[in-house]
Amino acid sequence: MIMTFRTVMMLLLSTCAVALGLMAIDPAQRIFRRWHKADEEQRYELEKESYLANTVVYIVFAIRVIAVPLYFWTMQSLVPMIPGAMCLWGVFNAVPILCWSALTLKFLFPVLYGGWLILARINNACKRNQLTRNLMGFYIAVMPLLIADCIIDLAIFLNLTPVYVSCCTSAIDLGPRPIPALIMGMAGQTLLLGTFLGLSIAFTIATFLCLRYARVEWISRTISATLAPTTIVAVTEVLTPWILQTPLHHCPFCLLQNTPSTIPFAALFWYALSCPWWALLTKRWGRTDGESEIIEKGVRGTLWITGGATATLGLTTIVVHLAMVFA
């Protein structure tokens, strides 16, 4: 185990999240089971109990959302302590099974955590806590993932040691590339970049159109599901070698490390691609009566606006970087 302030902080936050998460299970189950069957007096008692349960769950999910940037910040700080590591790739190879598995979870699970927090925001704006049962049911469904997420973080930082690892060059730059040099007579990188830019523009337009046309919402989600893997491939195969001006190097962690101004692109695109799924969640679980429906509609509209805006800013960030390279 490597003991630093940041690793200890991650251990403490993960332990705290597990403890609080387990503490909230019992009241969450009780509220979820009894809410619809309770009379006025019983519901009043359940509502009082829900205040504490909601607060605890709110803290837990907030911790896990904050832990995502903190996780990468902590792992980046360990690069000089891992022999052979030149970037995050090498640090991940110190505990490869756990770290590489956790990488995907760091992008997926916070979408669920953020979704609960958005539903809680709608519920807090309501006068009668209409979404209490939905919030508790959602928490019960997500709780196993939350505990697994925390346990993986604990296992990673407890098992990280300064072992010798291979650098990213020996892993990602060797072997055939996933994108052929030529595709139908066109340069593969150029075609991939055009696909990424085209999908990004289409996603941005569709997201803004969702403000007026509900039928466009699933188009936005479909593009989001396609754009996510396309972005990953575009970053490794085009953006990294072009922006870093290293034609044979494709490590995305080196791009973020050596060009920190690209970090906002990753954060903005993650938020933008999450917005269509948060909007789906609020539409399905955030409307129980007229009051909550009105509030949910406003929140969903905000999600579409901010999703389109962040997609635009993220895309602009990358276009500016590419323009600077070829200027």
pLDDT in tens, 171-204: 888 777 777 776 777 778 899 999 999 999 999 9
- Residue 225 and residue 312 share a domain: yes
Placement of tokens 């973020």 in the chain: 256
Domain closes at, from 101, 134, 159: 159
Domain boundary among 134, 159, 184: 159
Averaged pLDDT for residues 27-33? 90
Residues 304 and 209 in one domain: yes
Residue-wise pLDDT tens digits, 251-276: 999 999 999 999 999 999 999 999 99
Residue 128 DSSP symbol: S
Which H/E stretch holds residue 294? helix 290-326
- 116, pLDDT greater than 90: yes
Verify that 147 and 12 share a domain, yes or no.
yes
The answer as to whether 294 is a domain residue is: yes
Domain-embedded: residue 186:
yes
Count of the separate structural domains present in the chain: 2
Q: For residues 116 and 59, give the distance between their C-alpha atoms in angstroms, rounded to a whole number.
A: 11
- What does the pLDDT look like over 223-241, one tens digit per residue? 999 999 999 999 999 999 9
Give yes or no for a contact between 256 and 73, defined as CB atoms under 8 angstroms apart.
no
Chain centre distance of CA 238: 23
Is residue 68 domain-shared with residue 119, that is, in the same domain? yes
Query: How far is Cα 74 from Cα 94, in angstroms, rounded to an integer?
Result: 14
**pLDDT of amino acid 182:** 67
Residue 42 shares a structural domain with residue 74: yes
Same domain, 217 and 82: no
pLDDT at residue 155 in the model:
95
pLDDT, tens digit, 9 for 90 and up, residues 267-322: 999 999 999 999 999 999 999 888 899 999 999 999 999 999 999 999 999 999 99
State the DSSP string of 131-177: THHHHHHHHHHHHHHHHHHHHHHHHHHHH--------SHHHHSSS--
Which amino acid is located at 68 in the chain?
Answer: V
More confidently predicted of 203 and 36: 203
Model pLDDT, residue 205: 96
Give mean pLDDT, residues 196-213.
95
What is the extent of the structural domain holding 293? Answer: 172-326
What pLDDT shows up at residue 111?
95
148 lies in the same domain as 182: no
Mean pLDDT of the chain: 91
Indicate if 176 and 131 belong to the same structural domain. Answer: no
146 lies in the same domain as 184: no
Q: Quick one: pLDDT at residue 137?
A: 93
Q: Residue 166 domain-assigned? A: no
Q: Which two tokens stand for residue 212?
A: 């007026």
Over the stretch 72-113, which tens digit does the pLDDT of each residue have? 999 999 999 999 888 999 999 999 999 998 898 999 999 999
144 and 84 in a single domain? The answer is: yes
Q: pLDDT value at position 247? A: 87
**Residue 167 belongs to some domain of the structure:** no
Q: What φ, ψ does residue 79 adopt, rounded to 5°?
A: -55, -45
164 domain residue, yes or no: no
Question: Among 159, 181, 204, where does a domain finish?
Answer: 159
In a domain, 165, yes or no: no
149 with 176, same domain: the answer is no
The answer to whether residue 18 is domain-embedded is yes
In a domain, 218, yes or no: yes
Same domain? 192 vs 70? no
